[in-house]
Chains A and B, each alone.
Chain A
């Protein structure tokens, strides 16, 4: 094992993703070869309907692979038990939580489920980890509020705290900035960047905020119809990956401002 291998959290080998039923097979993307490294903030971008969700659902074992392999810590994803996986990977999903009638503390505490006993009692260690997650996401003062009292931005922070409390090497967020205003979009992504630095976790998120992602991510995964590439934002800019991201009749990528501009 080389030094570099030890830093790889997740690796895909010739992965094909899509939907498979008895009769039909719909391949959304194939030949995906990616590596997610320890302590990196990774942004996944791509046009609507390109398969970002399918990709994330496959990585998180919600959906089966069509072919190829996903390895986490050099172990096949399918070989993980559900509890083992819960200790390795935590999620923040786009779907709303079923009940908002929980206090913030109770909700974050649910992140400890893979570690707690049969009735879910928290040990002193669990409480310490929960409190640390609350501090890291700046929501200590919301601790005893109920979730229905929170704004969308606050609730997103709580969901991130819950993922942190799950104490996993990898956190995957599906479009964490939807429904948020410009300030809170930046706030959440900046928070993720800080968490990566502080905790050395690997955080992968999908987003439509390409401009922000370029500024904040260590690595970006760009999904287009032709291929999926992963590289540093600067390399992706210089080799022109963003130019082919969208149809070019309305918006164009401007290399100088590192952002998309509406065509005049």
Chain B
């Protein structure tokens, strides 16, 4: 499907905005660094060693994480909305974030409950990442096994939601038996965080992210065919089962890694595809996919800059900011266009 309109201008504008947001993001933080020094630090030419350290080892990886998280969540949200033909679908409808929550809850909250061995394990960042990965993988696997027995795509959506409820219930039970300290630790994980990744972790994140994006790119044709509905897609020779599988795996890779490294970041995955459709006024995935990538990255960079509360020592939970900023924007776009483009 070739777009009947040209979109080069909005794309150039978005790329420029992305670059501005990127530099804006690394210029802002609890420590004030003049822009000239930010630039010098980037090319490793700064006179202030501490500034250079902050820029190179804290702000730069954080900005890259924001780009990967925002674009990855936006794209996986788009994939799920197209696959389920449901505007309320997001990256987590298949139980990925509830699985991750369960994994993390078992490690943080369960350590008191089970005592002994688990309690002695130091709850490091890697423990949380692995717990989140294993949890989301297992719940996703359960959803997929049950889903393979139903023919209707919509049923997968409901099955995903049901598994989400089950894990939420288990987390509630674990919370009930936990200490205030453990609860706080768990809740802090739930706030989401972009700033915890070292360059090595970022590299692992990036490699998995690339696999997800590659699978998404190979699905562009299938995604556009899905716009007609499954029966038409089948009549056009599309292998529905295989395409659906690839789309679900791509979503899992993207949303799963993001949740493992940055926590369950809400809202972005649901909202970014809607913002993009309202602004670009199309459903063609050849246009939507790069546009969602750029929008997701930009919005996440802006949200992160705000969450840092520049010049102050506090950092607000990123999860709160994404919704505070994003929700009014989506509402405004819907009201302005007077109709939802889906």
Residues of A at the B interface (CB closer than 8 Å) are 60, 62, 81-87, 89-91, 93, 95-99, 101-103, 105-107, 109-111, 113-114, 116, 118-122, 127, 143-144, 146, 148, 166
Contacts of B2 in A (CB 8 A): 106, 109, 121-122, 127
* Interchain CA distance A205-B31 in the complex, whole Å: 72
Residues in A with CB closer than 8 Å to B58 are none
Complex Cα–Cα for A114 and B228 (A):
14
A250 to chain B, nearest CB (A): 34
Q: Inside 8 A of A121's CB, which chain B residues have their CB?
A: 2
Chain B residue contacts of A105, Cβ below 8 A? 4
Given contacts A98-B228, A102-B283, A106-B4, contact A119 B235 (CB under 8 A): no
Contacting residues, chain B, for A113 (C-beta < 8 A) = 221, 224-225, 236-238
Residue of B nearest to A81 (CB): B237
Contact present for A82 and B237 (CB under 8 Å): yes
A–B Cβ pairs within 8 angstroms, 17 of them: A82-B238, A86-B236, A95-B229, A96-B229, A98-B228, A101-B277, A101-B342, A102-B227, A102-B282, A103-B4, A106-B3, A106-B282, A110-B1, A110-B236, A120-B1, A120-B220, A144-B4
Residue from the set A93, A96, A98, A143 with the largest chain B CB neighbour count within 10 Å: A98
Chain B contact residue count (CB 8 A cutoff)? 33
In Å, the complex CA distance between A144 and B282 comes to 12
Task: Scan residues 211-228 of chain B and give those whose CB is less than 8 A from a CB of chain A.
Answer: 217-218, 220-221, 224-228
Main SS at interface, chain A: loop
Given A85-B237, A114-B236, A102–B284 Cβ distance below 8 Å? Answer: yes
Q: What CA separation (Å) do A91 and B277 show in the bound complex? A: 28
B213-257 to A contact mask, C-beta < 8 Å, 1/0: 000011011001111110110111111000000000000000000
**Residue of A97, A102, A103, A113 with most partner-chain B CB within 10 A:** A113
Assess the B229–A106 pair: CB atoms within 8 A.
no
CA distance A127 to B4 in the complex (A): 11
B284→A106 contact, CB < 8 A: yes
Q: Give the CA-CA distance A101 to B277 in the complex, in Å.
A: 9
CB-CB under 8 A from A83, the residues of chain B are: 237
A171 to B198 alpha-carbon distance, docked (Å): 58
For residue A86, which residues in chain B have a CB less than 8 angstroms away from its CB? 235-237
Across chains A and B, which 4 residue pairs bring their CB atoms closest together, nearest first? Answer: A86-B237, A83-B237, A120-B221, A99-B227
Least CB distance from A215 to B in Å reads 29
Task: Return chain A residues, CB-CB under 8 Å to B226.
Answer: 98
B1-40 contacts to A, CB under 8 A, are: 1-5
| Complex CA–CA separation, A86 to B240 (angstroms) | 13
Docked pose: A202 CA to B239 CA in angstroms: 26
Contact of B237 with A62 in the complex, beta carbons under 8 Å: no
Q: Which residues of A contact B284 (CB under 8 A)?
A: 102, 106
Q: Once bound together, how far apart are the Cα atoms of A87 and B282, in whole Å?
A: 27
Which one of A89, A110, A118, A166 contacts B225 once the chains associate, using CB atoms below 8 Å?
A: A110
- Bound: A184/B281 CA distance, A: 30
- Other contacts beyond A102-B283, A102-B284: 10, CB < 8 A: A82-B234, A82-B237, A97-B232, A103-B282, A110-B1, A110-B224, A113-B224, A114-B236, A119-B221, A146-B281
For A111, the chain B residues whose CB sits under 8 A away are 236
- Chain A residues with CB under 8 Å of B227's CB are 97-99, 102, 110
Q: Given A91-B235, A110-B236, A120-B221, A97–B4 Cβ distance below 8 Å?
A: no
Chain B residues within 8 Å of A101, by CB: 277, 281-283, 341-342
**Chain B residue nearest to A85 in the complex (CB):** B237
Query: How far is B2's CA from A109's CA once the two chains are assembled, in angstroms?
Result: 8
> For residue A127, which residues in chain B have a CB less than 8 angstroms away from its CB?
2
CB distance from A264 to the nearest CB of B (A): 43
